[in-house]
Amino acid sequence: MKPSLKKNYTAYINGGFVPSQGAVFAATNPATGEHLAHIARCNAADVDTAVQAAQRALPGWKATSYEERAALLNRLADALEKELPRLALIDALDVGRRIAETRLDHQKAIAQYRYFAGAILTHEDYGRPIPDGYLMVKREPMGVVGQIIPWNVPALMVALKVAPALAAGNTLVLKPDENASLSTLEFAEIAGGIFPPGVLNVVPGFGEEVGAALTAHPKVAKLAFTGSPEVGRIIAHAGAERLVPVSLELGGKSPNIVFPDADDLDAVVDNALFAALYCNGQSCLAGTRLFVHDDIYASFVDKLASAASRLKVGNPLDESAHLSCLVSAKQGKRVLEYIGIGKAEGAKVLFGGERESVAGCEAGYFIQPTLLEVRHGMRVEQEEIFGPVLSILRWSDYEQMLKEANGVPYGLAAGLYTADLENAMRTADALEAGSVWINQYFNLSSGVPFGGVKESGIGMEHGRETLNIYSRVKSVTVRNRVIEPWYLG
């Protein structure tokens, strides 16, 4: 099963793919090693061409009504829905994730376009009378926005950036990750048939070339990035150099807390595994630190290991698989290295921890779901691994548990399971996280704000608040008459 793909992809600028004379890089199926397509390795000149196109398109797009923007976003959602099976297959082949997940990615992405099509229609500010006049406070687009996204969930990452930015009236230059560019370039061609030329531009390539040029470009009025804190700091510095606003969605090492009164421990086990292993664990918001109360620890961990043993590691196109391969050999080796670090630190492997071979996919890095019994402070408990590895901590003292749950540099998400509502709300208030999910991890739907604190980023995505980070406030005051000059009074 192979989708229709171009042999060569270049930058999508001003409503079409433009010729590129530079180098190319290969898109390769990480599971099989199969060549998928060649992609242009763009450079600063390509970025400048894209920014200039976006700048030319800005006045016309800014002048479109909210209703027209909403209608076009809904048209885009409809078009993407028709292409969903093909785009999901492209992502499964390009990134190595199981196709059931990539289908869900695209469904959630489509929901984002529809959500912001509605949200922009009520994105209103205020006005009020003032002495002898009137005050109006309005919102305007920022201008040309530079956006950089990661490889783990390309369809959703595109939607989280593109939908609110376009709804707010900005024009865009988007850089996809070099490990996952195909569906984004296909998306650009679909969107290019709906939006005016230059409104949406996609420039593939590498961070040190395209990313650096985009963040430094003098006509880019806002930067938005999802990725690692290390790169986030670089982009924040670039924004500070030019005094342009930056929004960042960065890493996570999220706690997931099981209280002894949690209802239906079997369901909690399933949800805790899902929290850690969805997307093969390659998710910044994964619940990778599981705190289990001492009263239920032994039985819960037994259930967890038993459930993990039933998970099938398989080909990304295998509908019955629960986990598939990591995005690259580099990432696979990194995860295995972390498992080795954990063992050296004294972590106990309760299940998994090894690379697994999948027939027909020998080139891929398939790693067993891995459960590590750890202590607070170990590197595997503190650092983002980005693989199917769950660190498990035993707790009995509530205050100490909270201290350890908050005792990482990150603050993206958190989860907890309890039948006690008062305890749930008290704990949610105490957790240092942008999102807290009670009795169901990943309980995130369109319109629910998502973002982090501490080293997990700046700004909120996924909800109405996102329109504010893609627009700026302007106040206009009107007087009923011209006052006499002060020096005549």
Asked whether 49 and 217 are in contact (CB, 8 A), the reply is no
pLDDT-derived band at 488 (thresholds 50, 70, 90) equals: low
% of the chain surpassing 70 pLDDT:
99
The β-bridge partners of 291 are: 257, 393
Residues with active-site annotation:
249, 284
Q: How many CB atoms lie within 10 A of CB 383?
A: 16
Segment 271-311, tens digit of pLDDT: 999 999 999 999 999 999 999 999 999 999 999 999 999 99
The reported pLDDT for the residue numbered 309 is 98
Output the 3-class SS for 20-38.
Answer: CCCCEEEEECCCCCCEEEE
As a whole number of angstroms, the distance between CA 191 and CA 193 comes to 5
Range(s) of the chain covered by CATH 3.40.605.10: 8-250+456-475
Asked whether 410 and 252 are in contact (CB, 8 A), the reply is yes
Query: What are the φ and ψ backbone dihedral angles of 255, each rounded to 5 degrees?
Result: -80, 150
Q: How far apart, in Å, are the Cα atoms of 432 and each of 42, 420, 427, 468?
A: 39, 20, 10, 23
**CATH T-level topology, domain 8-250+456-475:** Aldehyde Dehydrogenase; Chain A, domain 1 (3.40.605)
* Tokens linked to 385: 């691994």
| Orientation angle between helical segments 154-167 and 99-119, nearest 10 degrees | 10
pLDDT-derived band at 484 (thresholds 50, 70, 90) equals: confident
The reported pLDDT for the residue numbered 366 is 98
Helix and strand numbers, DSSP H then E, in the chain? 14, 25
How many residues would you count in the chain? 489
Segment 433-456, tens digit of pLDDT: 999 999 999 988 888 999 999 999
Range(s) of the chain covered by CATH 3.40.309.10: 255-438
The reported pTM is 0.96
Answer yes or no: is pLDDT of 343 > 70.
Answer: yes
- If you classify domain 255-438 with CATH, what class do you get? alpha beta
Element (H, E) at 116: helix 99-119
Query: What are the φ and ψ backbone dihedral angles of 365, each rounded to 5 degrees?
Result: -100, 95
The reported pLDDT for the residue numbered 489 is 55
The reported pLDDT for the residue numbered 103 is 98
As a whole number of angstroms, the distance between CA 297 and CA 228 comes to 33
